[in-house]
Structure 1
């Protein structure tokens, strides 16, 4: 039996799938309560952490920069995001949340209970281990070392 098809691995894969499905369902519901699509909510959440150029947003979402432009255009039309020249490279535009965008992102984050509540029941050591394992699964440890 290969490691990828053993019963434990298959059960873990199914559990991850269930967690992801429930998270997406709640995320889409929370986004719709703010008249946003899930993609718009994700972009707004990213930008609430730091202003980003379109290419970095696209990398986070794993999509083309042209898709991000449309999402940012709609967020900008609603007064949730604005574009500014990057002080480090004036040829690059950064998307940044407005005050209303930050407030909306905070309300969205506060309404996501599914992931936060069960995680709150884990110890700090368990959450730290889970974070490290998830980053390892995503290959982010290597990507962070390269940047």
Structure 2
């Protein structure tokens, strides 16, 4: 089972339903690596690296061997992007992708990985809030508006 085949079951579809993925005007559900790079802001090199390290399952190929991505791939990349924004280590993202490919019996392990990371994110948010309070205080001292 591939990452894209099980993405909806893993909750990626739920997260990605708010994604900027739009059907192509020509009705095709297929994108070149260059188009995906433009849509996601990732370089073609990064997309190939994601595939090489197992963060993405093997991407489909055209009749002439060129990578062809679909909307599920774009949704997965958005989810990965969200994980990156939270500071999740690449190794943990790869582990999550591996567990996802292994199937439904890894649900608890995937949940545990995400719950553990959520706690790290919450700690980081608390640190940022405390830092923001210090900045607001300093700005007030200088007579400016804190907001």
**What is the TM-score when the length of structure 2 is the normalising length?**
0.26
- Report which of the two has the higher share of helix: 1
- Report which of the two has the higher share of strand: 1
Larger radius of gyration: 2
**What is the TM-score when the length of structure 1 is the normalising length?**
0.26
**Which protein, 1 or 2, shows the higher relative CO under an 8 Å CA cutoff with sep ≥ 6?**
2
